[in-house]
Structure 1
Amino acid sequence: MSTSLVHAKSRFMARMSGLLCCVLLGSVLAACSTSESKAAPTGQPSSTTVTEVSAAAGDSGAKPSGGERTVTDELGHEINIPAEPKNIFAPNMEDSLLKLGVKPVAQWSNGSMGHDYLQDELKDVPKLDFSAGLPSPETLMAYNPELIILHTETYAQNGNYEAYSKIAPTYVFKNASGNIEKSLTAIGELLGKTEEANKALEAYQQKVKEAREKLKEAVGDKKVAIIRFAHKGVSLMGGQYLCGYVVHRDLELGISNLVGNENSASISMEILPDLDADYIFVLNAYNQGTERMTEMMDSPIWKSIPAVKEGHVYEVSNKYWLGSGLIAYEKIVDDTVRLLTQ
């Protein structure tokens, strides 16, 4: 074979080898690129993807699975909460939680006494004593709350909000007891229980509607007074909260001029003769007003009041007439209809 032929063949083989290497290298790079693309969802781009999906879900009103939501409470705090928080601490809002089918991790109590009318359902729930103020952060931490709900802005004062918000997201109402329907709706949204809240409110509103009709027929435009005997004094309850809200706002029964639009008004022997009420409900707050109640109701002045002479005085349960929530409110509606239509 000639020398020129050998050189030509060698050059051909070299070019083929180079071309083959390029093809192999290109295949390896393509495979690596595909592998990285498939692996991306478990790497850094995953966060971006979840964020985008969560934002889209929020825009449509859906709840991102396993994600968080940002909400703003009534004091303007922006907080991040789980999509459907489970371990809830909401002192003095146990009624609303139970109405939504939720048991708290711990319940409010005054000493050893919780909300008595709820104890059948809360008997296994630990009590936290509020008689000397809010429980310490260390005490609350033991219950591992995922969400803390404070029913009044006074609970958030004196550094309590800052301390509690380090334990769990903390949502504060200005005064949840001032509008139970509104606060129940808000709690339903916080807990992913909007449907349950709506159903509970519809049932209550229907109950109130039927009660109004019965009461209108029985008592017409006559006035009702609610007298609260407590350790610190005696007061007329207004129509702004608790049983006063139910009787005067929901059931639309007339209110004494002695209290008018106020939350409450102190009452004494001296002004008893001015009490313009055709029916009187009396309650002994937490059984601490017994002495004052006996003193006033045994007095000649009390016995001279027209409603008393007519036998239109009714002692009602302090267990739920001072309760805050639809469970208590439904019981108050039942009592009012029963007592004023009998």
Structure 2
Amino acid sequence: MKRTIFMICALLSVILIGCQSQEASVADDDSDRSKVVEHGLGETEVPEDPERVVVIGLEDIMLSLEIPMVAATGMEGHYLYDSLKEEDIHIIETVGAEYNFEAILDQDPDIIVVSESPAGRENVYEQLTQIAPTIAYDRENWKESIEAIGSVFGEVDKADQVIETFNSKLEEAKKEVMESIGGDQTVAFIRPTPKDVQVFFPGYSYTSVLYDELGFSSGALVSELQENGEEGDWGAVVSLEKMPDLKADYLFVTVGSSLATVEENEQANLALEEVKKMPVWESIPAVQQEQMHVVSARNWMLNGPIAESKKIDDVVEALTRN
């Protein structure tokens, strides 16, 4: 009898240990779950629930989705720098489109989320994939990308909400501007230096908010330059002597770069002050009408829901201040 009871107890112990082992295996399987994600640079197997997310160039979208990040790229003066600091996100100091692969590796990422365009050059993407599974999205087409990223991280509803909020703000801005200055107004967006001027075309992603979304048309010179250019051109570089022909009703001006150092952008602003002293500058119709507005390259030369929202704020402030 005792022997029988002992055998039963031993059998139960084996069964119990087996169940515990199976449960542990299931738990391990849960923690190691993965899925294949299609993105701008291919297909990548990524963790189902990554804990250590490193972001390179898509911080605007990720902050808007409120997706936790352990690290992101940035630099002092960038329009998202303070927001990243407030969220206690480690900032990988970056200037321009350079990558600090060692700093990225130090963050031990489970997944890297990167802006497609710079990552697609040379072998940058390949180097990132050696650190962690890497997915890439088009920052310029931010609405499509935020939906895709929201799907990867289980935040589809949040992505829809961000787009809906932005669209509502856009419609309200259109009404405010229309009530202030009326319709049929022309605008131009330029980046001058003491040597020449970059004139940006309608349809270019950085300035499309003026044309495609707020509904302004370009002035005669901008239209002429675009007609003489190649399809898909971002804009044209012209001499300062062409500026009197820039007959847009309103002129938006930026200098420097979104990813430049504070010192570099300070130098660019000083250069603008020199340009504004030139007689040719005073001959620009919008300058003569005091309808020239300087805006920051920090957010105008990038895309994303936060950057685009700031652009709308700039336009509304400029055109409705009277």
Range of TM-score over shorter length: 0.7 to 0.9
Structure 2 residue 67 is matched with structure 1 residue 102? yes
Distance 1:223 1:132 in 2: 32
**Aligned amino acid, residue 319 of structure 1:** R
Name the SS for the 1:257 alignment partner.
helix
Determine helix, strand or coil for the equivalent of 1:284.
coil
Alignment partners' CA distance in 2, 1:169 and 1:230 = 41
8 A Cα contact 2:195 2:240, kept in partner: no
Shift in Å, 1:92: 2.0
Tell me which residue corresponds to 1:11: none
Among candidates 30, 33, 43, match of residue 67 of structure 1: 33
Identify if the C-alpha distance between structure 1 residues 271 and 113 changes in structure 2 by more than 3 Å, giving closer, same or farther: same
Q: 1:167 aligns with which of 131, 143, 156?
A: 131
The yes-or-no answer on 1:327 pairing with 2:292 is: no
The answer for the alignment partner of 2:122 in structure 1 is 158
1:69 and 1:80 in contact (8 A); partners too:
yes
Aligned partner of residue 267 in structure 1, secondary structure = strand
Question: How has the CA–CA distance of structure 1 residues 246 and 69 changed in structure 2, closer, same or farther, with 3 Å as cutoff?
Answer: same
Tell me how far 1:311 sits from its aligned partner. 1.0
Q: Do residues 184 (structure 1) and 146 (structure 2) align?
A: yes
- Pairing 1:289-300 to 2, within 5 Å after superposition: 289-300=268-279
Q: Residue 116 of structure 1 aligns to which amino acid in structure 2?
A: Y
More displaced 10-residue stretch of structure 1: 235-244 or 158-167: 235-244
Q: Describe how 1:1-342 pairs up with structure 2 within 5 A.
A: 67-76=33-42, 78-109=43-74, 112-113=75-76, 115-123=78-86, 124-131=88-95, 134-173=98-137, 176-217=138-179, 218-229=181-192, 234-241=197-204, 243-255=206-218, 256-258=222-224, 260=226, 262-286=233-257, 287=265, 288-342=267-321
**Does structure 1 retain, via aligned residues, the 8 Å contact 2:101–2:128?**
yes
What is the identity, as a one-letter code, of the residue corresponding to 1:105? V
Determine helix, strand or coil for the equivalent of 1:128: strand
- The one of the two structures with greater contact order (alpha-carbon pairs below 8 A, sep at least 6) is 2
Question: Bigger shift: 152-161 or 301-310?
Answer: 152-161
- Give the letter aligned to residue 223 of structure 2: N
Q: Which protein is bigger by CA-based radius of gyration?
A: 1
Question: Residues 136 and 118 (structure 1 numbering): CA distance in 2 closer, same or farther, change over 3 Å?
Answer: closer
Q: Is the 8 A contact 2:44 2:133 kept in 1?
A: yes
SS in 2 for 1:81: strand
Deviation at 1:178? Answer: 2.2
Whether the 8 Å CA contact 2:189–2:251 is kept in 1: the answer is yes
Q: CA RMSD in A?
A: 3.4
Amino acid at match of 1:269: L
Cα distance between partner residues in 2 of 1:264 and 1:292: 21
The amino acid of 1:148's aligned partner reads: I
Q: How big is the shift at 1:100?
A: 0.9
CA distance in 2: counterparts of 1:259 and 1:197, whole angstroms: 37
Matches of 1:227 and 1:172, distance apart in 2: 30
* Percentage of matched positions with identical amino acids: 28
The 2-side partners of 1:302 and 1:334 are apart by 26
Contact 1:248 1:254 in 2 (8 A): yes
Q: Is the 8 A contact 1:83 1:192 kept in 2?
A: no
**Comparing 289-298 and 206-215, the one that deviates more:** 289-298
Q: Offset of 1:152 from its aligned partner?
A: 2.6
Structure 2: any 5+ residue segments left out of the alignment? 227-231, 258-264
Distance 2:188 2:97 in 1: 31
Task: Give the structure 2 partner of residue 20 of structure 1.
Answer: none
Deviation at 1:79, TM superposition (A): 0.9
**Matched residues in 2 for 1:311 and 1:253: separation?**
19
Deviations 1:21-45 (A, max 9, x none): xxx9xxx9xxx9xx88x958956xx
How far is the alpha carbon of 1:238 from its aligned partner? 2.8
Deviation at 1:258, TM superposition (A): 4.9
Distance 1:40 1:229 in 2: 72
Q: 1:102 to 1:203 in 2, by over 3 A?
A: same
Aligned length: 296
Which ranges of structure 1 fall in alignment gaps of 5 or more residues?
Answer: 1-23, 52-63
CA shift at 1:225, angstroms?
1.0
CA distance, structure 1, for counterparts of residue 194 and residue 93 of structure 2: 19
